[in-house]
Structures are given as structure tokens and as C-alpha cells.
């Protein structure tokens, strides 16, 4: 299970340290995010790679799929998008993440999910600052 950060700063630090510290990966999904982030850093400026990866990820995620996620699933999506934001296109990735999070009906979310949505929104603000 993912080690979920309980703070906004912790989420951002977790994403950034995953890219700089190879011993930080606790599970296979975090290892995937590390490999993806390092690849995007390596091919920075080559829009073909970014467009291809973006298309593959975005096509698998829809607002309706977001509603069926568990708390761990939502954390993985948040980590994926924060990794993409740090390594690829901050503005565009954050806009897409905000759209996906906006599809979640906040009054219907349980406490842990609601806090995670807010931590993710605030992490985006922190990255953009």
C-alpha cells in the first residue's frame, strides 16, 4: 500500500524526492512514477514524447472513472499528476488534474477522500507558487 503523506508539503516533497533519491520508492507504482519522471526529465523539450505519454494517460482517465476510485487510487492519481507537473508541463497538467478532481462530488466524499482532494488542490497551488 502507498505511504500517503498527510500534509500538502509532504506530498510535494514525496514527488520531488522520488525523482532525486532512488531509495525512496516504497512500491511498484512509486517506481513507475520515478521511471516516468526521469524519462520526462531526460527528454525535456522533445514534445513528441510528452504528447505520446500525455495522450496515453489522459485517455485512460475520465471524470466518471474518478468517482470509482478508492482513497489509495486517488492518491496514486494525484501522485501521477504531480509527477507529470514537476517534470513536464505544470500548467496543462494541473488544469487537467483540477478538471478530474472537480468531477468528484465533494459532499458525497468520505472524510479521508475529501481531505485528500483538498491536499491535492493545495499541492497544485504550492507547485504553481
Q: What is the pLDDT of residue 117?
A: 93
The reply to whether 58 falls in a domain is: yes
Q: Quickly tell me which residue has 472537480 as its cell.
A: 102
Least confident of 13-17, 24-28, 44-48: 24-28
The reply to whether 61 falls in a domain is: yes
| Residue 104, SS3 per DSSP | coil
The reply to whether 3 falls in a domain is: no
Pairwise CA distance, residues 69 & 28, whole Å: 19
Q: What is the pTM of this model?
A: 0.91
The reply to whether 108 falls in a domain is: yes
* Boundaries of domain holding 45: 8-128
What's the domain count of the chain? 1
Q: What is the pLDDT of residue 2?
A: 53
Q: What is the pLDDT of residue 51?
A: 92
User: In the predicted model, what is the mean pLDDT of the chain?
Assistant: 90
Residue 1 has pLDDT above 50, yes or no: no
The reply to whether 98 falls in a domain is: yes
Q: What is the pLDDT of residue 93?
A: 95
Q: What angle do CA 114, 21, 82 make, to 5 degrees?
A: 30
Pairwise CA distance, residues 21 & 17, whole Å: 6
The reply to whether 46 falls in a domain is: yes
- Over residues 11-21, the mean pLDDT reads 89
pLDDT 10s digits, 30-39: 999 999 999 9
Amino acid at each position: 500500500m502507498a505511504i500517503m503523506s498527510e500534509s500538502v508539503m509532504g506530498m510535494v516533497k514525496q514527488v520531488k524526492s522520488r525523482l532525486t533519491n532512488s531509495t525512496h520508492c516504497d512500491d511498484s507504482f512509486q517506481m513507475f512514477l520515478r521511471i516516468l519522471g526521469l524519462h520526462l526529465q531526460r527528454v525535456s523539450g522533445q514534445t513528441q514524447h510528452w504528447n505520446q505519454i500525455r495522450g496515453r494517460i489522459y485517455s485512460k482517465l475520465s471524470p466518471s472513472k474518478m468517482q470509482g476510485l478508492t482513497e489509495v487510487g486517488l492518491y496514486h492519481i494525484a501522485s501521477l499528476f504531480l509527477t507529470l507537473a514537476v517534470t513536464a508541463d505544470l500548467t496543462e497538467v494541473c488544469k487537467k488534474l483540477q478538471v478530474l478532481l472537480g468531477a468528484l462530488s465533494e459532499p458525497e466524499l468520505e472524510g479521508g477522500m475529501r481531505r485528500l482532494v483538498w491536499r491535492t488542490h493545495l499541492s497544485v497551488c504550492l507547485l504553481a507558487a
